[in-house]
A and B are shown apart, each in its own frame.
Chain A
Amino acid sequence: MKYDYIIVGGGIVGLSIAYHILKFDRSKSVLVLEKRYVGSGASTRNGSHFRVHFWSEENVRFAVKSREMILRIGSETGWNPIIMLGGYLWLICSEDILRAYEETNRRIWSRYNVPVKFLDISEIYKLFPYINTDGFIAGVYGPQDGKLHHDFVTFGYYYGFRKLGGKVLEYTPATKVLFKDGSVYGVETPKGVIEGDNIVVAAGDHSKYIMSIVDVDLPLVNERKELWVSEPVSLFIKPLIVDLRSDSMGLYIAQSPRGEVMGSIDYPKVQEDLEYNVSLDHFRMFSRLAIRLIPTLKYLRIMRTWSGSYVMSPDHSHILGRDDEWPEGLYVATGYSGHGFMMAPYTGYVMAKYLLTGEIPEDMKPYLPTRFKYKKLIKETMVIG
């Protein structure tokens, strides 16, 4: 059997694309190939938060639409993703950074109807009494952002896709992308060759490797992000808190809807073996920074640690679609640089529209892989979470 679309990667992005293709056109045949189990990569190894506050207009537009879809996902898939609009809180220590936020708020966020609130120290103290505000001058609070339970979004798309007649093959890695006369005709797996007209690579931190098989060098680096999660405790940290002090290594702390406090710091390190390990050195730094920001966490007990990948692109934004120099029928959706989960619902929507009609939706245009060639990069600097 020959599939119309083969999606390589059964994470949230791949499943969202697969789901939306069938949602728009039930007559298509779609197969999702997954190397391990559904959601085994960054779809389960993430901070489970979503936000709309990016620093580039393209990303804000994309994220606002994605957020609308996230809020509707419960009724769409029948899986309540346990959403809480706890917001994001950026803690600011210098006037320059504050001015940059004010500027962006005026220029972009207000225009897209997602303005942030500026809080002074006494307001931070009143709203978030557990934060040690020493060293900060202000806070920026984005009330439109929130948290969710990532597994239930993934499962929602997984079952939605299967219900529409889609097929998912787990524990089936695509080892080779096959092409002939300049167009793809299938993928090779340990279970044999599977034929398909179009192949979408949405394999997260494996994408660079899979594309290198067809001699396409995607400018991606898998950055390791280590995460710590505590025992469930009373839900007292409502927003995701980002510490913007220069010596805080981009610390963020949040609490999951189930009560587990989690956090991470930036510690640029390439994820080489994809074993998702953690280092003590890194953990120790996190411990001190986290207690400095929220002293109450002193006796909090850490229950589990793991790491995941930020698939970093040069402009910290995702890569969607194809380059005409590539074999016909080959597409990518990857390089989310840490925003994959929150962008996945709308990615599925635009990619499905594009794959079915051949026309590039307006919102997708800035994200084509050709932008690196033509030096039309997106100006995105806000990476955390």
Chain B
Amino acid sequence: MTDDSEPYVDIYVNNKLVKVPRVLPIGAALYKAGIYSLEKSMRFNRPRGLMVFDWRGPEKIYVEGDFEYNPYLFKASDGIKIRIKLSTPLPKSLLKVFDGYLRVGGYNKWPFNRMWAWNIALKYVDDILPWNKPKYVKEPIKEYPKSINVDTDILVVGGGYSGLEAAYNASKSGLKTTLVEADSLGGHLNIYRHGMYNEDYLNKLLKGLKENDVYILGNTVFEGFFEDSAFGYKLDTDQLITFSYKVIIFATGSYEVPALYEYNDLPKTLLASAGLRLYYKYGVKPGDNIVIIGSTDRAFQTAIQLKEDGFKVRVIESFYKGFKYSELRAKALELGIEIYDKVSKITALGYDRVSGLKVVQEGQVIKLNVDSILHAPYIVPDIELIRMARSPLTFDIDLGGYVPIHDVNGATLVDNIFIAGSAGGVSTEEIYIRQAALAGLKASEYLGKSLPSKYDDILNELNEVIGKTPLYRNALNRLENAFKKKEGYVYFNGIHPTFYRGSDLRRTFVCFCTDVTLEDIKKTVTGMELRKMEHIKRYSGVGTGRCQGRRCFLNTLLAASMFTGLKPTEIGEIRSRPPYIPIPLYVIGGE
């Protein structure tokens, strides 16, 4: 037994003793200890990176004797044994058999469509798959954790700055308001520096929430809607929560999706926000020599911030540009950040970690010495719960793909559903914060409270901000029109996944949970002529893994659109089903 005050614990990784900090989530702790890969690509038998470091992320850690954990939600305890199966003893030819264990392609060729060959192959299934064998428990559970029922007038899902603004403004009228957040309050304010939206702003908001008696349900995931109730999962106490509400405000935010290029899954490849979370929340450096892929606002914000804090930073630009592109780009150049534009191909080098990057810029091959890659080529709104709630969506690539149809107040086509912040479309912080405030005020108006005069002030301010960014003004007009006409539209200007040209599509990953490559998507839509998202999903396995399509949906859609020439809406959508993140079976059984 070690003392709890001891800052380090001893754990075993593949039977080797590793000392890791006690307070960090296990994924961050292992990253600090130099273990960058927790999983492997099953099909290609290579270490797999792309870490998300998020409670909704897809990565897993295998603790001996138990099922898998999300390495972000789980802290190290003494003596645990972690197994990372990074290679298999089997020859390559046998691996090919299981190429299709997750999708169809390879194993349907002769002889694997013969029972005898298949039966032999099956004997190796446990050697191939990295899944953990749980220890068998004999005793059934006597007592289940108590479940909680939350009864409220207004329910705000998400405690980022938009959620906080919405909750603060909604609660001013005296209505009972509840806010659900799985992680730390303030969301990206904790990791990004947004000028005037800093710690003081956050503290002021939190104080306001306290004064207005907003019930903050921390460590809680809103899991979605069943036919008979909306439910959630309290991560720290393993309790089931059921919700009754009159109005729901979705402030679920947005996230980055990975860039597509050769070997985009190498260890030490992270989403931009994951890299920042590692550094600013846990004090673990994602790398020293960082390259950021993307031209979105988030990509440049990440670059600027890391540069200011002493990292060596480069940016590789892609087509999809943020609303503050020129302003942020100028600032980045001023700080001395190297920016590579007109890049047509990227190849990541390395095996168990990123050791470099080969870039083709206007026909010239440049080799960059980097040790970590951060992705922010597209930012997409998190619409999964909104889709589950059956609020109609529309497709606008400028706003990040599928977005809920709503007006500037966040009102949707479903009466008691409001949208706040970047969940309604990606723009800038100045817009999110004001729009979220309006959504909060309008939600309380919907429940019979009068609108305060402040509403007009905020609306004027918002219009002023929007007026300054013509791109967003146009996007917002499209959305407003859709809201008035009550029907969706398609705004798509032919933006496609970047950096694939001339690269090995078989090593360009689209879906990281189930090992689906760009080649598979191409084969599905052109070879097999399956052009509906539902078919693409079923044939290739894309989006059927742990994250249920959260990270791969937009890339699949754009790739399918690129290979077929169809509009994304013609390829269609997938259905969202509860739960939002996987929930332990015994939590559901709560009293």
Contact = CB atoms under 8 A, between A and B. Distances in A.
Contact of B585 (A170, A257, A298): A298
B104 A152 contact: yes
B140 A292 contact: yes
Nearest to B576: A304
A291 B125 contact: no
A181 interface: no
A259 interface: yes
A93 to B, nearest CB: 16
Interface band, chain B: 35 or more
A84 interface: yes
Given A79-B104, A80-B112, A291 B141 contact: yes
B80 to A, nearest CB: 14
Interface in A224-258: 230-236, 257-258
B122 A84 contact: yes
Contact of B586 (A36, A39, A259, A291): A291
A151 B100 contact: no
B134 A277 contact: no
Contacts, number: 162
A266 B132 CA distance: 31
Interface residues of A, number: 59
Contact of B132 (A151, A234, A283): A234
A132 B140 contact: yes
B144 A288 contact: yes
Interface in A97-143: 129-130, 132, 134
B535 A297 contact: no
B134 A296 contact: yes
Contact of B67 (A134, A277, A287, A299): A299
Interface in A146-203: 151-152, 155, 159, 170
A29 interface: no
B112 A302 contact: no
A296 B578 contact: no
A216 B239 CA distance: 50
Contact of B589 (A151, A152, A235, A287): A287
A212 interface: no
A313 B440 CA distance: 51
Contacts of B118: 74, 80, 82-83
A259 B129 contact: yes
B534 A287 contact: no
Contacts of A259: 129, 131
B468 interface: no
Interface string B251-290: 0000000000000000000000000000000000000000
Nearest to A285: B589
Interface string B456-472: 00000000000000000
Interface stretch (B221-229, B310-318, B502-510): B221-229
B577 A304 contact: yes
Given A38-B535, A75-B113, A291-B589, A230 B108 contact: no
Nearest to B226: A280
B327 interface: no
B137 interface: yes
Contact of B227 (A78, A79, A232, A277): A277
B582 A230 contact: yes
B586 A299 contact: yes
Contacts of A40: 534
Contacts of B545: 232
A233 B134 contact: yes
Contacts of A232: 129, 131, 545
A46 to B, nearest CB: 13
B206 to A, nearest CB: 32
A279 B585 contact: no
Nearest to B66: A299
Given A233-B67, A298-B585, A280 B228 contact: yes
A298 B113 contact: no
Contacts of A284: 588-590
Contact of A233 (B107, B131, B577, B589): B131
B102 interface: yes
Interface string B63-84: 0001110000000000000000
A71 interface: yes
Contacts of A84: 122
B131 A80 contact: no
Given A234-B126, A295-B140, A277 B133 contact: no
Nearest to B588: A287
B227 A278 contact: yes
User: Which of B132, B579, B588 lies at the interface centre, i.e. has the most chain A CB atoms within 10 A of its CB?
Assistant: B588
B325 interface: no
Interface string B5-20: 0000000000000000
B283 to A, nearest CB: 29
Nearest to A290: B585
B589 A301 contact: no
B115 interface: yes
Contact of A75 (B60, B114, B138, B578): B114
Interface in B511-526: none
A283 B577 CA distance: 14
B137 A302 contact: no
A168 B101 CA distance: 27
A235 B126 contact: yes
A281 interface: yes
Contacts of B115: 71, 74, 83
A151 B537 CA distance: 11
A279 B228 contact: yes
B589 A288 contact: yes
Contacts of A170: 532
Given A37-B535, A79-B113, A233-B68, 4 more contacts: A155-B539, A170-B532, A258-B101, A305-B577
User: Which 4 A-B residue pairs are closest in the complex by CB-CB distance?
Assistant: A301-B582, A74-B113, A287-B589, A280-B226
20 contacts: A39-B538, A74-B113, A75-B114, A78-B113, A84-B122, A152-B108, A155-B539, A231-B67, A234-B132, A235-B129, A278-B226, A279-B228, A280-B242, A284-B588, A284-B590, A288-B589, A291-B589, A296-B134, A302-B579, A304-B577
